[in-house]
Amino acid sequence: MMKKRIGITVLCIIGLALFIGGCAQKKPAQEIESSTQQEMEMAKPGGIQPSGEVGETPARANTAGLEARIAEFENTYVYFDYDSYTLDSRAQEILKAKAAFLKERSDLALRIQGNCDERGTSEYNMALGERRAKAAQDYLVSLGISKGRITTVSYGEERPVAPGHDEEAWAKNRNAQFIIANK
């Protein structure tokens, strides 16, 4: 009698385990269809290419690509000569590339920050920083970027990017920086 009870209990436990295992949550049909469609797109020549990261979706890859492009955009400065707000040919090329990106992404707004080295009075450097930011803004507008998408601010000598009190540091601190305002 005792052996029968143990046998029945074991069978009940095995049956319960099989029942619970068989009730695993199933994907909705729409989700299965969507993932199958993504896999088919990835398999096509020239289709969406997998990035190699586990769990990365095409949307996440696009976001990462945009973030990288914005980082490159923001980390490319325009530099100026001492006591000048004139855009040289190198600055114009950089601004052309920035304009091309902004034309592709008309949803993005831009803040241009004008900066100076530590030489000169604070008032003079604030005014010079503003002229530098405006020069960059005017050039972007001449390339077809709406002035309404661009704001400018001068930080004068208040936000140096390079420490030091020599020509190398000063040259790096005479710049216009470009910040995407609505990431």
pLDDT recorded at residue 63: 79
* 78-79 sheet: strands from edge to edge: 78-79, 175-180, 110-115, 150-156
pLDDT-derived band at 128, boundaries 50, 70, 90: very high
Which residue carries 């690509």 as its tokens? 65
- Longest Cα separation, the chain: 103
- Does this model's pTM top 0.85? My answer is no
**CA 68/CA 80 separation, integer angstroms:** 26
Higher pLDDT among residues 138 and 20, named by residue: 138
Mean residue pLDDT across the chain: 81
Separation in Å, CA 65 to CA 47, 70, 77, 117: 16, 9, 20, 34
pLDDT-derived band at 153, boundaries 50, 70, 90: very high
Mean pLDDT (whole number) for 150-177:
97
Amino acid letter, 59: A
Give the contacts of 115 (CB within 8 A, at least 6 positions apart). 129, 132, 154, 155, 156, 157, 159, 160, 161, 173, 174, 175, 176, 177
**Which 3 state secondary structure label does DSSP give 151?**
strand
**CA 76/CA 94 separation, integer angstroms:** 8
pLDDT-derived band at 14, boundaries 50, 70, 90: low
**CA 168/CA 170 separation, integer angstroms:** 6
- Domains recognised in the chain with CATH numbers: 79-180 (3.30.1330.60)
pLDDT-derived band at 22, boundaries 50, 70, 90: low
pLDDT-derived band at 51, boundaries 50, 70, 90: very low
Higher pLDDT among residues 58 and 171, named by residue: 171
How do residues 85-124 score in pLDDT, each as one tens digit? 999 999 999 999 999 999 999 999 999 999 999 999 999 9
Does residue 111 contact residue 179 with C-beta atoms inside 8 Å?
A: yes
Separation in Å, CA 61 to CA 50, 52, 53, 101, 181: 9, 10, 9, 18, 22
pLDDT-derived band at 60, boundaries 50, 70, 90: low
